[in-house]
Amino acid sequence: MEPLALRLWQNDDLPLLHRANSPEMTAHLNGPETIEQVEDRHARYLGYLETGEARMFAILLGGVAVGSIGYWKVTWREQEAWETGWFVLPEAQGHGVAARALALLIDDLREEEAESGRHVLVAFPGVDNPASNAVCRRAGFEYVGSTTDVFREQPLVMNECALDLGSPR
């Protein structure tokens, strides 16, 4: 099994976002963004470290960037929480990369959790995204329900999955 690591988001990670902005990669997210939206997102990722609002990472498999994962502050069901999301490029899919990256992210977040007062990590995979829903189950998230929200100007039906960061690993 190739070594997997998370590296904080860097300026030269922009091509990773462009590669993930294909119709196939965004099928469960209501389609691709514009080039300007991708570049704005990259700039936000870079700025998050300074504000402490979020931490975004490149997923490295054998030292090569194959995806992204991160967490950011949200209010969910009237409580302060963290939200997570990820993507893995097609050539690295189907090998447990997202699940392994999420496990590393949870470890990172558990260290942060004591200071932040946020004890829940939530994820919102599309109801029609079996791979991301499986990643949540594998990481120990509990299915809480489903919700519909507007994402990229269209309704998106998502599962609500939650993980108590204080629960045993």
CATH classification at residue 125: 3.40.630.30
Q: Is the pLDDT of residue 56 over 90?
A: yes
Q: Which domain holds residue 87?
A: 4-164
Q: Is the pLDDT of residue 40 over 90?
A: yes
Q: How many domains does the chain have?
A: 1
Least Cα distance to 145 among 129, 131, 125, 130 occurs for 125
User: Does 169 fall in a domain?
Assistant: no
Task: Please tell me the pTM assigned to this model.
Answer: 0.93
For residue range 108-125, what is the model confidence (pLDDT) as tens digits? Answer: 898 876 667 789 999 999
Which comes out higher in pLDDT, residue 49 or 142? 142
For residue range 59-97, what is the model confidence (pLDDT) as tens digits? Answer: 999 999 999 999 999 999 999 999 999 999 999 999 999
